[in-house]
Amino acid sequence: MCEGCVREEYPDRGTLCLENGCYMMNFAGCQECRDRSTPKIVNKKSDDINGEEMITFQHVCSKCNHLIGEHEHIFKVSGEYQLYEMSCILCGTGEDQRSIMPYDPRGPQMNNDFID
Ligand SMILES: [Zn+2]
Ligand SMILES: [Zn+2]
Ligand SMILES: [Zn+2]
């Protein structure tokens, strides 16, 4: 991790969770070579750990390959919700929750489709 290349470490991004790209607004430029073009994404991988999907990659300077930060994106299902988490020194931290249901169920309803 490198504090020298970012304006703010781990900025709060609310419910924004990205599994790709980079937060250019927070990129101050490479500390090593002063390059300010979009950092490269390298070593991207996704792991499945106990039903949690974890995507990780590294932001590196596109000129000198200086390591700017490691990006973590976690996706998991908890009950009726899908949970997303992001943690990255450059892109910041975020947390989001979405219902798995295509609509909000309004309590118990008679629905013949569910009777076999
Ligand atoms: Zn740096
Ligand atoms: Zn550089
Ligand atoms: Zn990131």
Q: Residue ranges of the domains in the chain?
A: 3-102
Centre of ligand 2 to C-alpha 80, Å, is 44
Distances (CA, A) of 17 to 13, 34, 62, 87, 112: 8, 28, 23, 8, 38
Report residue 79: phi and psi, to 5°.
60, -120
Centre of ligand 1 to C-alpha 107, Å, is 52
3-102, superfamily in CATH? Answer: Transcription activator, Churchill (2.60.40.4240)
pLDDT digits (tens, 9 = 90+) for 55-65: 999 999 999 99
Centre of ligand 1 to C-alpha 17, Å, is 23
Centre of ligand 3 to C-alpha 97, Å, is 20
> Confidence class of residue 50 from pLDDT cuts 50, 70 and 90?
confident
Residue 33 has pLDDT above 50, yes or no: yes
Centre of ligand 2 to C-alpha 5, Å, is 9
Q: Residues 57, 91: contact at Cβ < 8 Å? A: no
pLDDT digits (tens, 9 = 90+) for 81-91: 999 999 999 99
Residue 1 has pLDDT above 80, yes or no: no
Centre of ligand 2 to C-alpha 39, Å, is 9
Residue 21 has pLDDT above 90, yes or no: yes
Q: Which of 25, 29, 49, 53 is nearest to 39 (CA)?
A: 29
